[in-house]
Structure 1
Amino acid sequence: MEFSVFTGQANEVTADCLVVTLDQSGALSASAAAVDSASNGFIKARVDEGDIKGAPGKTLLLPAVSGIAARRVLLVGSGEGEASTVTAGKIVQAVAASVASIKGRIAVDLTALASEKFPQAWWAEQLVLAIHAAQYRFTATKPEKEEAPKADALTWIGEDVTTALTIADAKGLGTSWAKDLGNMPPNICTPTYLAEEAERLSDEAGFSCRVYDESELDAMGAGAFVSVSKGSVEPGKIIIMEYKGAGDEAPHMIVGKGITFDTGGISLKPGAKMDEMKYDMCGAASILGTMKTIAELKPAINIVAVITSAENMPAGNASKPGDVVTTLSGQTVEILNTDAEGRLVLCDALTLAIGEYKPQTCVDVATLTGACMAALGKVNSGLFTEDEALATELLSAGQYSGDRVWRLPLEEDYQAGLDSNFADMANIGGPLAGATTAACFLSRYTKDTRWAHVDIAGPAWGGDGTSKNSTGRPVPLLTTYLLNKAS
């Protein structure tokens, strides 16, 4: 998308659509008033007639009016008083939905909504992300019959927010790619496909990329990983990408679970909605999407991105409930449920990558537990960490980006739920606190590392039937967090 900043009167800006606001009392913003004055009261007449009342997110699209340079005017309600996170989201989504399919240039003035909490740069970033989301279409296996018209240029009326617009565009590109990967059918998006995509991006961006295949990991002693991957004809992979933007500093690490299809293994899932288990690699997709954003922006930070990928299938050589395996760390695990496979592939990837790179921080993201989705639904991802500073950074990044997380407990008392008579630990706890016991399991492989776990089981995809879609989360969270680290 092409960006520019305009500091003149809104009625003078040339655009295919001009966006201005009014509040719930009917009071026009400065730009809306300028448009109204130039059009001899056309805007105020629409308000007086009750065509729009200013409720948050409500819109009214008007045709060209004499005295206004723009071809259309979109009136947007801003509600009453200072915007909250919820109303701000409604407003930008409404604007994006209205203008995304208007071909050409969009000019937007949201300055009346800016506040200390939500400055103009924030509004600009959220608007661009919302336009990316509104324009997103999955076409890899179902091409559009004809290309839909779309806005391809944005003029921001107000402060110079060029940096925010550029960052938002890069985040939007990364999020859309993560959506593509998540939506891809599992017969195409295999561990090998993810490795090839990582190598392609690395070649384009100048990252280093190392792919460990299943046989190599088996020889290394990654018994937990192999216990999952061995049941499929698709060989598992651990993929490590490295971006160096800050000299010799220790890197920040991001890790994603990439189970490209999860049947549950021998602990077979029910058949209904099993197709949704192609989304069990959305953690990996978000890591790739984040690295695409990093490739666009080239921030001053060192990043190691890790993807641990396999299929979980119920073959004759698949792991059985009751099996005991030895992880790369040397700890043993009793596999009580083969459907708790995400933590098994993650633990060996964490051991491998933390041992190799000694990161400053490590954040893993995974569609790990239905228990987390039961607790938080589709709104917040679950955040687990004992590091208070890291928790604050991730919570702040989630609030700013709108890709929110909610902190859940990770206390020592929960560790006993993983006790086993036959191994150092079991791979599941009891029927309660399943999201926390899963995080407890991973914590045993991240000791002496500033580490956080983000369970994205709820927010990673949404909808049902023909509305089913990957969300691209948590790309906005991760990119905001890493860019804050860089700044």
Structure 2
Amino acid sequence: MRIAFAAPTVKTAGTLVVAVTDEKRLSASAAAVDEATGGAVGRAIAGSRFTGKRGQLLEILAPAGIDSPRVLLLGLGKPTEITGLELENAGGKLVGQLNAVGETSASIAVDTVEGTAIAAVDMAAHIAFGARLRSYRFDKYKTKEGADKKLSLGDLTFHVKEPKKAQKRYDALSAIVDGVFLTRDVVSEPANVIFPESFVERARKLEKLGVRITVLGEKEMRKLGMGALLGVGQGSTRESQLLVMEWHGSGRPQDAKKGDGKKARTKAGHGEAPLCFVGKGVCFDTGGISIKPAGGMEDMKWDMGGAGTVLGLMHALASRKARVGVVGICGLVENMPDGNAQRPGDVVTSASGQTIEVINTDAEGRLVLADALWYAQETYRPRMIVDLATLTGAIIVSLGKEHAGLFANDDSLADSLIAAGKAVGETVWRMPLGEAYDRMIDSDIADMKNVGSRYGGSITAAQFLQRFVNEGTPWAHLDIAGMAWSDKDKPTVPKGATAFGVRLLDRLVGEHYEK
């Protein structure tokens, strides 16, 4: 979908969109249209339940007096409550409505709204941002779909004073959209298309943006003692991979300071230790020998949603030239049943040297993350680390599909993640950690087991991960099992892969770590 910004005009192509705030207060453009159409706007409002509340839409077909075949009234709600997030949701709803009626182009008049702190250029940029987020559709495998089911909207033009400023504001947001779309793409792909090695090939395209790519195969990981990650993938014919993506702030990779191998540390950007983001990348999860039920197993193509988010985040940060050093690490495996597959009861040794009794081979994501987290710390000594994973069904039981579960050893980091999530509409809810939960994963024959009892499953999974986090390293774990995929359309998120976490973590980096 093409998005453009232009000066205000009375001549527009396609649908004309004008704003109305709470209590039926017309914007300047809406009032002008009302006058030009002989009061059609006022009559339409009077004959409906439309009051200008946030998110309301009212369509006026073929009004006399103007060239546009359709006028769409957009409710913005109370001026004092207008936020960037609400404007993005409004943009998404507009796109949904325009596609539903088969519109191909539309013009949105954006005026200064008295009583709001957001300038018109910023309002236009946020509405455009939300519109583009909603425009995503994964349809590459649909070969016989009728035109009536395809997205029709091709052009959106925002008419606003100082269009060049609006364009500049939008361009900064557009880089984030590219990262979101990349995540949605890889998470939407079937497992015969996206597997560890092909995921890596998608990531290599980031090199054009200045991201350094390093890949560890099974031979390299075996030398580093990554028995936890390798154990998960040993039943698959696909080789497991550890993908490392480095963004050095300036876009020019710097050489790592070579120490004693695992102790090497990269100072990424501005002479400071980097931020680290680690993603679970189980490209397909059958459950292994502890095999899942057949019903719904096809959904396990998106069990690599955490890695997908890290990939999209790195794309977004590099695209907008974020002024900070960041490392993204993805543990990429397939969890398959096979004569060589890991068995319940096996004991594996992680890269940290800690031993793990594998009680359930379907609790595999934490094994992948254990070695990835350890590698991140031993290699980069990050100033903070956040991991993301579609880790447990238990978090969906706890929080539904409204919040991701947040676990953290650092209150400041947790508070920052909560605030960033609220700002972009990717909400998280902090869950507890504690010694009593930690004791639940003690093993009789190893340092720990990979599952606890049936109670507090998402918490014991987080406790397991915490055992691989060095004391003094700020760390947070986001369990996104309920958030990586949506069963229904939302204002800026079409049904399917959501890319949850890309916007959240981009906001976290921008507000708290960039210089």
TM, length-normalised to structure 1: 0.90
C-alpha contact 1:429 1:437 (8 A) present in aligned 2 = yes
Residues 129 and 162 from structure 1, CA distance in 2 versus in 1: closer, same or farther, beyond 3 angstroms?
A: closer
Tell me how far apart the structure 2 counterparts of residues 129 and 477 of structure 1 sit (CA, whole Å): 15
C-alpha contact 2:310 2:328 (8 A) present in aligned 1 = yes
Residues 55 and 247 from structure 1, CA distance in 2 versus in 1: closer, same or farther, beyond 3 angstroms?
A: closer
Q: 1:211 aligns with which of 208, 215, 226?
A: 215
Q: 1:54 aligns with which of 52, 55, 59?
A: 52
The secondary structure found in structure 1 opposite 2:426 is coil
Partner of 1:138: 138
Residues 120 and 50 from structure 1, CA distance in 2 versus in 1: closer, same or farther, beyond 3 angstroms?
A: same
Partner of 2:286: 263
Residues 400 and 425 from structure 1, CA distance in 2 versus in 1: closer, same or farther, beyond 3 angstroms?
A: same
Cα deviation, residue 57, structure 1:
2.2
Residues 113 and 175 from structure 1, CA distance in 2 versus in 1: closer, same or farther, beyond 3 angstroms?
A: farther
Q: 1:472 aligns with which of 475, 499, 503?
A: 499
Cα deviation, residue 13, structure 1:
6.5
Q: Deviations over 1:435-467 (max 9, x none)?
A: 111111111112231111111000100218xx9
Residues 114 and 182 from structure 1, CA distance in 2 versus in 1: closer, same or farther, beyond 3 angstroms?
A: farther
How is 1:60-75 mapped onto 2 (pairs within 5 angstroms)?
60-63=58-61, 65=63, 72-75=70-73
Tell me which amino acid in the other structure corresponds to 1:230.
Answer: Q
Q: Does 1:166 align with 2:171?
A: yes
Cα deviation, residue 200, structure 1:
2.2
Tell me which amino acid in the other structure corresponds to 2:188.
Answer: N
Partner of 1:127: 127
TM, length-normalised to structure 2: 0.86
Q: 1:457 aligns with which of 472, 478, 481?
A: 481
Tell me how far apart the structure 2 counterparts of residues 62 and 460 of structure 1 sit (CA, whole Å): 37
Shifted more, 83-92 versus 255-264: the winner is 83-92
Q: Does 1:221 align with 2:249?
A: no
How is 1:20-419 mapped onto 2 (pairs within 5 angstroms)?
20-23=18-21, 25-50=23-48, 52-63=50-61, 65=63, 72-79=70-77, 82-83=80-81, 91-99=90-98, 102-104=103-105, 106-109=107-110, 111-112=112-113, 115=116, 123-124=123-124, 126-143=126-143, 148-155=151-158, 157=160, 160-202=165-207, 204-245=208-249, 246-419=269-442
Q: Deviations over 1:46-105 (max 9, x none)?
A: 112227343432312334656657664210234467548897676443223124564345
C-alpha contact 1:252 1:302 (8 A) present in aligned 2 = yes
Tell me how far apart the structure 2 counterparts of residues 295 and 106 of structure 1 sit (CA, whole Å): 31
Cα deviation, residue 183, structure 1:
1.0
Q: Deviations over 1:340-362 (max 9, x none)?
A: 10010011011112211111211
Q: Does 1:483 align with 2:507?
A: no
Residues 122 and 114 from structure 1, CA distance in 2 versus in 1: closer, same or farther, beyond 3 angstroms?
A: farther
Cα deviation, residue 477, structure 1:
1.0
Q: Deviations over 1:238-261 (max 9, x none)?
A: 000101113332211111111010
C-alpha contact 1:299 1:483 (8 A) present in aligned 2 = yes
The secondary structure found in structure 2 opposite 1:12 is coil
Tell me how far apart the structure 2 counterparts of residues 410 and 276 of structure 1 sit (CA, whole Å): 29
Number of equivalences: 480
C-alpha contact 1:99 1:106 (8 A) present in aligned 2 = no
C-alpha contact 2:120 2:160 (8 A) present in aligned 1 = no
Residues 410 and 150 from structure 1, CA distance in 2 versus in 1: closer, same or farther, beyond 3 angstroms?
A: same
Residues 409 and 125 from structure 1, CA distance in 2 versus in 1: closer, same or farther, beyond 3 angstroms?
A: farther
The secondary structure found in structure 1 opposite 2:23 is coil
Partner of 2:10: 12
C-alpha contact 1:242 1:305 (8 A) present in aligned 2 = yes
Q: 1:425 aligns with which of 420, 443, 448?
A: 448
Tell me how far apart the structure 2 counterparts of residues 95 and 247 of structure 1 sit (CA, whole Å): 42
Tell me how far apart the structure 2 counterparts of residues 425 and 62 of structure 1 sit (CA, whole Å): 65
Tell me how far apart the structure 1 counterparts of residues 306 and 342 of structure 2 sit (CA, whole Å): 23
Tell me how far apart the structure 2 counterparts of residues 88 and 209 of structure 1 sit (CA, whole Å): 36
Tell me which amino acid in the other structure corresponds to 2:482.
Answer: G
The secondary structure found in structure 2 opposite 1:309 is strand
Cα deviation, residue 199, structure 1:
1.3
Tell me which amino acid in the other structure corresponds to 1:459.
Answer: M
Shifted more, 368-377 versus 102-111: the winner is 102-111
C-alpha contact 1:5 1:161 (8 A) present in aligned 2 = no
C-alpha contact 1:214 1:229 (8 A) present in aligned 2 = no
C-alpha contact 2:277 2:385 (8 A) present in aligned 1 = yes
C-alpha contact 1:381 1:458 (8 A) present in aligned 2 = yes
The secondary structure found in structure 1 opposite 2:26 is coil
Tell me how far apart the structure 2 counterparts of residues 63 and 264 of structure 1 sit (CA, whole Å): 54
Tell me how far apart the structure 2 counterparts of residues 337 and 97 of structure 1 sit (CA, whole Å): 43
Cα deviation, residue 315, structure 1:
0.9
Cα deviation, residue 217, structure 1:
0.9
Q: Deviations over 1:218-256 (max 9, x none)?
A: 232101011101111111100001011133322111111
C-alpha contact 1:109 1:157 (8 A) present in aligned 2 = yes
The secondary structure found in structure 2 opposite 1:137 is coil
Tell me how far apart the structure 2 counterparts of residues 383 and 362 of structure 1 sit (CA, whole Å): 13
C-alpha contact 1:114 1:123 (8 A) present in aligned 2 = no
| CA root-mean-square deviation | 2.7
Shifted more, 244-253 versus 452-461: the winner is 244-253
C-alpha contact 1:140 1:184 (8 A) present in aligned 2 = no
Tell me how far apart the structure 2 counterparts of residues 412 and 96 of structure 1 sit (CA, whole Å): 49
Tell me how far apart the structure 2 counterparts of residues 126 and 269 of structure 1 sit (CA, whole Å): 42
Shifted more, 79-88 versus 209-218: the winner is 79-88
Cα deviation, residue 409, structure 1:
1.1
Q: Deviations over 1:309-358 (max 9, x none)?
A: 10001111111111111100001111111111001001101111221111
What 5-or-longer segments of structure 1 have no aligned partner?
none
Shifted more, 161-170 versus 319-328: the winner is 161-170
